[in-house]
């Protein structure tokens, strides 16, 4: 079984400050990890993924995420938040040993960036 936890329902940050959105996961095999963002009344937009290699993954719009195997975490980060980053963020995991491509999502974290 695979699962994802996003412990914060909402994260508030001031524009220009760094932001972190937390994610922890559980899989039986090696994890493939993803971050998606959802704007109101829209589908999910892919931000970045970790498959293998460097633990720091860089993605779209200046976002990056750090894979930590010992802590089973994949936190999303950005050095300087923008008001336009305000949205709903989802972490997802897939077990690399699973032949299918089923993603398991966390419950989402709402990011509010205030001017």
Partner 1 sequence: ETGVTQSPTHLIKTRGQQVTLRCSSQSGHNTVSWYQQALGQGPQFIFQYYREEENGRGNFPPRFSGLQFPNYSSELNVNALELDDSALYLCASSFTADTQYFGPGTRLTVL
**List of residues contacting partner 1 (CB under 8 A):** 4, 34, 36, 42-46, 49, 90, 94, 99-108
To partner 1, the closest distance from the beta carbon of 21 in angstroms equals: 13
CB of 90 to partner 1, least distance (A): 6
- Closer of 78 and 94 to partner 1 (Cβ): 94
Burial call 40-63: b when 16+ CB within 10 Å, e when fewer: eeeebeebbbbeeeeeebebeeeb
Q: How far is CA 11 from CA 70, 90, 97, in A?
A: 24, 13, 33
Quote the least distance from Cβ 49 to partner 1, whole Å.
6
């Amino acid at each position: 079984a695979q699962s994802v936890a996003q412990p914060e329902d909402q994260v508030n940050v001031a524009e220009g400050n760094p932001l972190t959105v937390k994610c922890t996961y559980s899989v039986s095999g090696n994890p493939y990890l993803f971050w998606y963002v959802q704007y109101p009344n829209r589908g999910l937009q892919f931000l970045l993924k970790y498959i293998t290699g460097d633990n720091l993954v860089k993605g779209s719009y200046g976002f990056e995420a750090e894979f930590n195997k010992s802590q089973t975490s994949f936190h999303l980060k950005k050095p300087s938040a923008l008001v336009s980053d305000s949205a709903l963020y989802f972490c997802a995991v897939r077990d690399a040993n699973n032949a299918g491509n089923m993603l398991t999502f966390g419950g989402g974290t709402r990011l509010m960036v205030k001017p």
